[in-house]
């Protein structure tokens, strides 16, 4: 199998894994768990699995090449991602998985907007992408969120916003760090943050065996698997191509939510979601073009 095909398949696997995240969270709530309990078990199981795979991923991780500054940066990103995950879990406790997913995928447009305020110039196509995302988001949330409940609106948009901030920091300061190393240290530091919180609030367990299975699936299928396959895919086809392939993720989530959770959305909401997906693909293409131009200049 050639590198392009294998890289594409790995990126698709990563996208499919991440796409199931909303479903596992929804099922975890049905097992009597709260958001912090769900995330604690997620990162405990994920970190145990990652380190159990250490003999297989040692070479690609190259942890011994990290300096103190890089290690502290990755630990900080792991702590920040706990907050991102918490916003996601809190949102999914309040709104449908379909609505959550479409709001989340405004994050590339938010990355572009934040980057602009940080001094980066954006081409016209990028601003078109931002406009499409905002219009699509308005159509997606119209009539779907209860304005009388501010947290129903705050959590999904906070999730997208903090995720955008996370990506900007990671994109600016982790380019020279092996991707597998970033994943291992980030997951591990997230687990330590959650373990610290256990001492503050305790930790609940699922009500049934099915609950444990759901938590393990959340850790394996929606955490470790997509992290490792994402970096493996990037190594074969590049970050920009992998990002474009991963835009299939929200479509998978919407299909699964319709089939498994029996979620239904209005036609206007689906059309808004289509605009968001178009904006994501367009923005990824713009970013790839910019990266190619910068490489040529160097």
DSSP-assigned states of every residue in 189-234 = HHHHHHHHHHHHH-----SSHHHHHHHHHHHIIIIIHHHHHHHHHH
Q: Give the pLDDT of residue 72.
A: 92
pLDDT of residue 277: 81
All residue ranges of the chain with pLDDT < 50 are 298
pLDDT computed for residue 295 by the predictor: 52
Predicted local confidence at residue 113, as pLDDT: 85
How many Å is the maximal CA-CA distance in the chain?
Answer: 59
Give the model's pLDDT for residue 249: 85
- The pLDDT score that the predictor gives to residue 292 is 61
Among 157, 163, 106, 135, residue whose Cα is nearest residue 283: 106
pTM of the entire predicted model: 0.86
The pair of structure tokens assigned to 149 is 């409940």
């Amino acid at each position: 199998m050639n590198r392009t095909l294998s890289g594409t398949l790995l990126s698709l696997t990563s996208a499919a894994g991440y796409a199931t995240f909303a479903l596992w969270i929804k099922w975890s709530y049905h097992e009597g768990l709260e958001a912090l309990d769900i995330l604690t078990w997620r990162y405990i199981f994920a970190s145990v699995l990652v380190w159990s795979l250490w003999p297989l991923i040692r070479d690609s991780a190259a942890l011994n090449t990290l300096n103190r500054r890089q290690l502290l940066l990755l630990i900080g990103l792991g702590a920040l991602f706990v907050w991102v995950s918490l916003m996601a879990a809190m949102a999914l406790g309040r709104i449908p998985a379909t609505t959550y997913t479409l709001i989340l995928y405004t994050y590339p447009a938010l990355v572009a907007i934040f980057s602009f305020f940080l001094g980066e110039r954006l081409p016209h196509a990028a601003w078109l992408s931002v406009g499409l995302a905002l219009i699509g988001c308005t159509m997606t949330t119209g009539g779907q969120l209860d304005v009388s409940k501010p947290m129903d609106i705050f959590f999904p948009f906070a999730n997208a916003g903090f995720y955008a901030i996370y990506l900007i920091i990671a994109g600016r300061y982790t380019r020279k760090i092996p991707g597998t190393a970033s994943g291992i240290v980030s997951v591990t530091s997230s687990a330590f943050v959650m373990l610290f919180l256990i001492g503050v609030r305790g930790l609940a367990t699922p009500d049934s065996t099915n609950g444990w299975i759901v938590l393990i699936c959340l850790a394996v299928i929606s955490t470790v698997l997509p992290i490792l396959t994402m970096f493996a895919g990037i190594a074969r086809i590049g970050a920009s191509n992998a990002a474009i392939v991963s835009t299939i993720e929200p479509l998978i989530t919407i299909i699964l939510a319709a089939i498994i959770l029996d979620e239904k959305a209005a036609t206007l909401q689906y059309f808004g979601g289509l605009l968001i997906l178009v904006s994501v693909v367009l923005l990824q293409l713009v970013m790839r073009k910019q990266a190619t131009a910068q490489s040529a200049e160097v």
